Structure 1
Amino acid sequence: MSLLAAGVCQVHAGDQPPVEVLHWWAAGGAPLNGVRADLGRRGFAWKDSAPQGGEERKLLFAKARNGMGQLPDALQLHSFSLRESAARYVSWDALAAAEHWDQVLPVPLQQAAKVGGHWRAVPLNIQRSNWIWANKAIFDELKLTPPTTFDELLEVARRVKAAGYLPLAHGTEPWLHTLMFDNAVLAVGGPVWYRKALVEQDPVALASPKMVTVFEQVRALSRLAEDNAKGRASTFATDMVVSRKAAMQLMGDWTKGEFSKRGQQARRDFICFPYPGTAGSYVFVADLFAMPDLGPARREGQQALARTLMDPDTQMAFNLAKGSIPARNDVPLDHYDDCARQSAHDLQAAAKQHTLVSRFVAETPEVLRNAVTAVVTQFVESDEPAASAAARLQRALRKS
């Protein structure tokens, strides 16, 4: 774009009311810079509305704003929150039909963004949560190959520890324990049981002996991490892998941005592989944006944002910086690294095999997520037997 054209665009954007977006990312996050610029080229300025906290805190903030008649133009949320209040959000059916969203978005992602068959949200990306990230130099030094079963993971960990490295870098924030549990459920029971147990809270699935095995696996994983990790954040765990203090980190692909910030490159400095036992499955979380129906005066800006979020170039640049992959399946991945290309390949394979599932934290209410996190955290931070934790989880979910 020429400087003259850019100047005209900026003036035009200044003439329009800004599009206010309520999200849970850091307001100054680099991945958003491209989205802001692309929206600006459509004549509208992006305005951050990003109070501290996660999805629930943001939604409470939005409800308070609603009471004052000051809702933002768009909210980032997960599919459960979308379904709870679908009627208040704009339907993008006409835009989706005109731009062929049904042809370029995986069916499970469509199911996350639609309510009652209507497009109530716009997806920007897909993030995979069943990943392990490993220091390539340590794996090369010890002649290790990525484990594909949990027993193989334990053997890799034994060799890593014998060489003087920490097998697994892990933080102690409760959500990290839940992520560990989440992966163990998928590995032990597969995607169908994962959904029955965690999304549907099926009593038979929850009472299965598999759940005891899940907690046993979580116990084994927690013992691979350092005992004095109290208060460690996930970013510090990434630092330990980068600095060769630890061999592996269990984390979704959102951590790849942290590796990139530290000058790390896939295949040169780190490798990635599915959590052992989950190679044929893909658990995803999508960043969805819903837009409250605020009337015709705000609709033009909202439509500009919807078009921007679904623009192939916008999705390519945003996800390249963030570490995730585009929601659209027609975005070229030439500039993406091996981990992203593997993620996209595995996504398509899982969609065909019906082993692509939305992560339970995006599909369940806050009270249920909190119940799972409380049970798992207490288990990890104590010597509670696995059978006791499995029984306690059943009771907690019955009450939720």
Structure 2
Amino acid sequence: MKKFAVVAAMATALLGSTAVNAADVEVIHWWTSGGEQAAVSVFAREFDALGEDKWVDTAIAGGENARSATLQRTLGGDPPGAAQFNISRQFEELAEAGLLLDLTPLATEEGWKDFIRPAAILNVCEFEGKIYCVPVNIHSWQWAWASVPAFEKAGVELPKNLDDFIAAAPKLQEAGIIPFAIGGEAWQIGGAMGVVMLSQLGKEGHEAIYKDRNLDVAGGPEVKHAIEIFKSLKGLTDEGSANRTWNDTTNLVIQDQAALQIMGDWARGEFAVAGEKPGVDYACIAGPAEQPYLDTGGDIFLFPKQDDPAVEAAQLKMASMMVNPQVQALFNNAKGSLPVRDDVDMSLADDCMKVGLEILKDPDHVIQGAGIYLTQDSIGQLDDLWAEAWANPDLSVEEIQQRFVDIIASAE
């Protein structure tokens, strides 16, 4: 396979005829769990293999902390060479201030718009007609992760949907297995509830509520049943869930102590690091529903402007490397996410990645997350509602649903 030949030519063309030397590129990110570290190591290894330039790793726990550090340093005149952000408009302050490297010439030369899909994730990188970041993956929340040995021990089949799972839960409990594993952090609870809601609403109902603000659907039977499932799941958790991290929770499934966890596809990286095999040691259940849908969140990298032309040349090499088809397959297989291009080497993809890629082929089964339609304030109100409903068993289904309707009615 031709390896990044375009990049060297692009770097030379963009920087003129001036010779440049090797450079260190500091990269800020928040990938600190075992699976995340394995994934970011793919990027570091592949970048270092391009030549004398070096990836300098700066891992900062917590996305908000890492983004804040990037903003403060870049605005303060001490920018890193590259930084991870979410697929969002979080970086626009830097673009507006003229502090980011314009990747448009590179993206045009390599045809990013021809192979990055869905188009919406590259559109996020555009500001005033120029491209300032590179999407590296597609993350979706809509997955359940099941311990195959746990279900076998209990003598029940893997569930096809959440109603099946709840029906099987008593046998799991009788076998000494935690039926439902979750951590007590608000984002884990809110994320799980979003998955439960979508599993009952489907794409049409999801858009009716979050995009169109349809209060009849928000107050309808599908939402009611989603809340009933949500309350049932709380009764299937263990006492240690209160302050547990997501990856420690995933480890309960890996150790066959818990039967099932609802978590985004980044959990797959933890199974990979543990040497677990999909279909043998664990199952990835899309949806979890018989007609699964996936949203298209994920991560981007941006490149703050540098005074050193050698660093700028290395930044362009790094951006190109991140969307190379082989690197996309290797990185996303380790990360648990899906590649941003559909021409990756499928021999490098595991069974769970293949399931996700098949779903993405059908645009009718791809959705935009609620955060695309609602302001952060409205999302925060929903997160607060689900956290309170999780913590307070005395809140009735009817009261929870009415408060949900009220939030949607006033959402911006």
Q: TM-score, normalised by structure 2?
A: 0.82
Structure 1 counterpart of 2:162, one-letter code: F
Change (3 A) 1:223 1:232: same
1:329: Cα distance to partner? 0.9
Q: Is the 1:82–1:120 contact (alpha carbons within 8 Å) kept by the matching residues of 2?
A: no
- In the alignment, what sits opposite 2:3? none
Q: CA shift at 1:270, angstroms?
A: 1.0
Instruction: Indicate conservation of the 8 Å contact 2:269/2:336, yes or no.
Output: yes
DSSP-derived class of the 1:272 partner: strand
Mean CA deviation greater in 250-259 or 60-69:
60-69
Identity of aligned residues (%): 23
Residue equivalent to 2:150: 138
Shift of 1:366: 4.7
Check whether the contact 1:80–1:365 (CA below 8 A) recurs between aligned residues: no
Does the CA-based 8 Å contact 1:77-1:287 persist in structure 2?
yes
Aligned residue-pair number: 382
Q: Is the 8 A contact 2:30 2:61 kept in 1?
A: yes
Q: Following the alignment from structure 1 to structure 2, what is the Cα–Cα distance between the partners of residues 114 and 348?
A: 24
Question: CA offsets, 1:321-346, max 9 Å, x none?
Answer: 22223222111121322112111112
Q: Map Cα deviations across residues 64-115 of structure 1 (whole Å, 9 max, x no partner).
A: 2234212223221123334744544444333223222223222243344445
* Counterpart amino acid of residue 110 in structure 2: E
Distance 1:149 1:241, change over 3 A: closer
Specify the alignment match of 2:115 in structure 1: 104
Shift of 1:48: 2.7
Aligned with residue 167 of structure 1, among 162, 167, 179? 179
Which whole-Å deviations, capped at 9, do the CAs of 1:183-233 have from their partners, x for residues lacking one?
0221122224434545x4836378433444432221122222124532222
Show the counterpart of 1:319: 332
| Aligned counterpart, 1:9 | none
Change (3 A) 1:53 1:142: closer
User: Against the structure 1 CA distance between its residues 17 and 192, is the aligned structure 2 distance closer, same or farther, given a 3 Å change threshold?
Assistant: farther
**SS at the partner of 1:373?**
helix
TM-score, length-normalised on structure 1?
0.84
Q: CA RMSD in A?
A: 3.0
2:295 pairs with 1:283: yes
Is the Cα contact below 8 Å between 2:268 and 2:335 reproduced in 1? yes
Aligned to 2:385: 375
Q: Does 2:92 match 1:81?
A: no
What is the distance in 1 between the residues matched to 2:319 and 2:102?
A: 11
SS in 1 for 2:241: coil
Gaps of 5+ in 2: 1-19
Sort the Cα spacing of 1:206 and 1:373 in 2 relative to 1 into closer, same or farther, 3 A. Answer: farther
Residue 46 (1) aligns with residue 55 (2): yes
The residue number in structure 1 matching 2:77 is: 69
Contact 2:145 2:261 in 1 (8 A): yes
Taking the aligned partners of 1:399 and 1:222, their CA distance within structure 2 comes to: 27
Tell me which residue corresponds to 2:400.
389
Opposite residue 190 of structure 1, the aligned amino acid is G
User: Is the 2:74–2:304 contact (alpha carbons within 8 Å) kept by the matching residues of 1?
Assistant: no
Q: CA deviation at 1:253?
A: 1.7
What are the ranges of 5 or more consecutive residues in structure 1 without an aligned counterpart?
Answer: 1-13
